[in-house]
């Protein structure tokens, strides 16, 4: 892998948004022109206690009510209030990588190297990433294309999606990839999200580096899938773990969108549309939960 790595981004030595540079005004207007019916497809899952997570690297989503109506009313009565205004407020603890989320470019390294020649030793601090955090990800309003490779049901864990599989899916969907697109890959594996977490987490069908390269060579901004890691798990090469993350994020500056819900799109035979994803700007975070939609 190290021999493949670029030390510099094509977008200059200070670039922190990677393939986000391909999100031009022209691309945005063309995507918005695809909206003819005003229909919205929500391609995210809910985030909740019980959503799958990959222990031990990922921690579970935890939420509890920290301030509740009863106690806030009591406190306010003691302060002289008579209108019994009760507040409900929660406290949440989570990694940004549970549920439907986007990975920041600084989420993965190759050794010490992060995207665009940044040294992890310089960038990663106890309180977050000094560069390449998710706050730098631009608003994504662009065309998304859906590669349905899952067929009538789903592919198997450990099954690799090849460039040829993607080409066939593009032909079947009636589209050709264009620069600035976002690729959505439907494997069928998403049906197990929250329904059978043990199975969802035991492995997954997904792309390997050749399919990622095929997409990225055509100017893809982000790759999303209905699985937890985009890429085939386990990798067929036992000597590689998560090479697509290294290739897309650290080498190419291409974002990954994980745990998507794509069954509704497939059922409606929607293979292209205007995709909208706005990542919450959590400073220095390695990702963010998102609620992407596709409009047609």
Site residues (CB under 5 A) for Zn ion? Answer: 97, 103, 258, 287
The minimum distance between CB 97 and Zn ion, in angstroms, equals 4
Of 132 and 272, which CB lies nearer to Zn ion in the complex structure?
132
Of 260 and 270, which CB lies nearer to Zn ion in the complex structure?
260
The minimum distance between CB 28 and Zn ion, in angstroms, equals 25
Q: E-assigned strands of 128-284?
A: 128-129, 140-148, 160-161, 182-186, 206-207, 222-225, 255-258, 272-277
The minimum distance between CB 25 and Zn ion, in angstroms, equals 29
Distance between CA atoms of residues 175 and 187, nearest Å:
18
Of 57 and 82, which CB lies nearer to Zn ion in the complex structure?
57
Q: How many CB atoms lie within 10 A of CB 276?
A: 19
Please name which of 138, 160, 133 lies closest in space to residue 149, comparing C-alpha atoms: 160
The minimum distance between CB 95 and Zn ion, in angstroms, equals 8
The minimum distance between CB 59 and Zn ion, in angstroms, equals 13
Residue 171 near residue 196, CB atoms below 8 Å:
no
The minimum distance between CB 279 and Zn ion, in angstroms, equals 12
Cβ neighbors of 236 (< 8 A, separation 6 or more) are 158, 160, 208
Of 103 and 204, which CB lies nearer to Zn ion in the complex structure?
103
Of 97 and 154, which CB lies nearer to Zn ion in the complex structure?
97
Of 137 and 295, which CB lies nearer to Zn ion in the complex structure?
137
- CB nearest Zn ion: which residue? 97
Distance between CA atoms of residues 142 and 181, nearest Å:
6
Sign of the Cα pseudo-torsion (134, 14, 220, 250, in order): negative
Q: E-assigned strands of 226-283?
A: 255-258, 272-277
């Amino acid at each position: 892998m190290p021999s493949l790595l670029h030390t510099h981004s094509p977008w200059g030595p200070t670039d922190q948004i990677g393939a986000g540079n391909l999100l031009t005004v022209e691309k945005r207007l063309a995507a918005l022109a695809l909206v003819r019916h005003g229909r919205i497809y929500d391609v995210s899952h809910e985030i909740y206690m019980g959503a799958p997570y990959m222990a031990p690297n990922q921690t579970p989503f935890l939420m509890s009510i920290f301030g509740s109506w009863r106690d806030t009313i009591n406190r306010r009565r003691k302060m002289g209030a008579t209108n019994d205004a009760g507040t409900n407020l929660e406290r949440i603890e989570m990694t940004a990588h549970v549920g439907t989320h986007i990975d920041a470019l600084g989420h993965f390294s190759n050794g010490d190297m992060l995207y665009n020649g940044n040294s992890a030793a310089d960038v990663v601090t106890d309180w977050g990433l000094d560069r390449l955090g998710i706050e730098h990800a631009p608003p994504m309003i662009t065309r998304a294309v859906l590669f349905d490779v899952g067929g009538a049901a789903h592919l198997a864990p450990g099954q690799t999606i090849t460039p040829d599989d993607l080409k066939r899916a593009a032909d079947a969907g009636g589209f050709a990839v264009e620069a600035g697109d976002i690729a959505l890959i439907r494997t069928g594996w998403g049906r197990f999200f929250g329904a059978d977490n043990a199975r969802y987490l035991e492995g997954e069908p997904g792309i390997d580096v050749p399919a990622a390269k095929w997409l990225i060579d055509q100017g893809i901004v982000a790759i999303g899938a209905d699985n937890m890691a985009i890429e085939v798990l386990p990798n067929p090469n036992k000597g590689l773990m998560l090479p697509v993350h290294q290739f897309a994020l650290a080498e190419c500056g291409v974002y990954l969108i994980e745990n998507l819900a794509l069954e509704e799109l497939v059922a409606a035979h929607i293979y292209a549309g205007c995709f909208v994803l706005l990542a919450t700007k959590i400073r220095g975070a390695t990702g963010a939960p998102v609620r992407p939609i596709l409009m047609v």
